[in-house]
């Protein structure tokens, strides 16, 4: 007589055999080995931000010690930073510079990139070569004549307008990046719009721009990050007027005024970095897609 063995229906998980445990352990070790470089790289970039944030929440005495975590979380340090004379003004100036500069670069660069990518005209390759040449020209080379023009001829020294106004005429890097992305858009869409009676401007607005959103997002983020972190430009044109300083330039003055209050300096640093981190966090998908697709055609 044969006795049937019924399966365990108690709901308890079956105990893994030694062979299965060994296989799982090997799989885990393999995963760690494969991803160790990525994990190490991530920690290399993340740990400094964690250190800055934790130090910003310490007392002024503890910030001078070797402690890694605050004994008491001093969130009021951020309030003290905002109460510092000029900090809110620097914040407003940075938003003006980055926001307006980004909008001007995007709006002025799109038509040029569209023409270089989709039009066939004499001198097109020479125009593209000129754009690439402008990318290789360091701004320090032309800073003296530019300063003389804006400060002496236009009397705009002590303001951010010498940095913002030129962005209304496009940016070489933005034009090149957008042109590379627009090359990935099939010409059939544009030709179909022309057959339907759309003019070039309407084709650009109704057909090309919706398909070019990732490329536009990438250009906008690059320009926003550049303007927000720009130290050289405000130092040249706005150093004589504290009311025109940006956060990147004003942070140096803040550090000098609070050279022993490292907790406040770190809190100010966090406030400078926070907008960049938040913007990239919410737009990283479009940014990565735009940067990736610009390399499809050359």
Q: What is the pLDDT of residue 199?
A: 84
Q: What is the pLDDT of residue 15?
A: 63
To which residue do tokens 């406030």 refer? 271
Q: What is the pLDDT of residue 262?
A: 86
**Which has more pLDDT, 12 or 202?**
202
Dist. CA 169–CA 150, nearest whole Å: 16
Q: What is the pLDDT of residue 297?
A: 43
Q: What is the pLDDT of residue 174?
A: 92
Q: What pLDDT, in 10s, does the model give residues 13-45? A: 556 677 777 888 888 888 887 788 888 888 888
Q: What pLDDT, in 10s, does the model give residues 66-86? A: 888 888 898 998 998 888 878
Residue partners of 83: CB distance under 8 A and separation at least 6: none
Q: In this structure, are residues 267 and 78 in contact, taking their beta carbons and an 8 Å threshold?
A: yes
pLDDT band at residue 293 using 50, 70 and 90 as cut-offs: low
Q: What is the pLDDT of residue 17?
A: 73
Per-position DSSP letters for 9-78, written without gaps between them: -S-PPPPPPHHHHHHHHHHHHHHHHHHHHHHHHHHHHHHHHHHHHHHHTS-TTGGGSS-SS-SS--THHH
To which residue do tokens 């401007």 refer? 201
Q: What is the pLDDT of residue 21?
A: 78
User: Is residue 138 predicted with pLDDT exceeding 90?
Assistant: no
Closest CA to 177 of 206, 201, 212: 212
Q: What pLDDT, in 10s, does the model give residues 241-282? A: 988 999 989 888 888 777 778 888 899 999 999 888 888 888
Query: Has domain 85-293 been given CATH number 3.40.50.800?
Result: no
Dist. CA 169–CA 93, nearest whole Å: 21
Q: Where are the domains of the chain?
A: 85-293
User: Token digits for 215?
Assistant: 């490329």
Dist. CA 170–CA 50, nearest whole Å: 37
Dist. CA 52–CA 46, nearest whole Å: 10
Q: What pLDDT, in 10s, does the model give residues 169-210? A: 989 999 999 998 898 888 888 888 888 888 888 888 888 888
For CA atoms 218, 245, 83, 270, give the dihedral sign: positive
The Cβ of residue 87 has, within 10 Å, a number of other Cβ atoms equal to 19
pTM of the model as a whole: 0.79
pLDDT band at residue 298 using 50, 70 and 90 as cut-offs: very low
Query: Average pLDDT for residues 218-224, to the nearest whole number?
Result: 91
Dist. CA 104–CA 168, nearest whole Å: 5
Dist. CA 68–CA 166, nearest whole Å: 45
């Amino acid at each position: 007589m044969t006795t049937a063995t019924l399966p365990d229906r108690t709901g308890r998980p079956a105990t893994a055999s030694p062979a299965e445990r060994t296989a799982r352990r090997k799989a885990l070790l393999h995963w760690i080995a494969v991803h160790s470089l990525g994990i190490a790289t991530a920690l290399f970039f993340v740990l400094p931000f964690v250190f800055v944030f934790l130090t910003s929440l310490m007392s002024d005495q503890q910030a001078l010690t070797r402690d890694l975590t605050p004994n008491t979380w001093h969130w009021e340090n951020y309030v003290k930073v905002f109460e510092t004379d000029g900090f809110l003004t620097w914040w407003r100036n940075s938003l003006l510079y980055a926001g307006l500069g980004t909008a001007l670069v995007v709006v002025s660069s799109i038509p040029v990139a569209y023409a270089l990518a989709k039009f066939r005209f004499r001198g097109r390759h020479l125009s593209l070569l000129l754009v690439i040449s402008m990318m290789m020209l360091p701004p320090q080379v032309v800073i003296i004549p530019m300063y003389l023009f804006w400060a002496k001829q236009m009397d705009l020294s002590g303001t951010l307008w010498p940095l913002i106004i030129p962005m209304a005429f496009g940016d070489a890097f933005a034009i090149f990046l957008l042109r590379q992305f627009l090359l990935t858009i099939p010409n059939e869409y544009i030709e179909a719009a022309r057959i339907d009676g759309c003019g070039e401007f309407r084709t650009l607005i109704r057909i090309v721009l919706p398909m070019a959103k990732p490329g536009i997002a990438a250009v906008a983020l690059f320009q926003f990050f550049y303007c927000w972190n720009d130290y050289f430009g405000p130092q040249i044109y706005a150093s004589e007027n504290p009311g025109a300083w940006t956060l990147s330039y004003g942070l140096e003055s803040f550090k000098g005024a609070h050279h022993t209050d490292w907790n406040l300096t770190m809190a100010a640093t966090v406030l400078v970095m926070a907008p960049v981190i938040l913007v990239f966090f919410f737009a990283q998908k479009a940014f990565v897609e735009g940067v990736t697709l610009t390399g499809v055609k050359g």
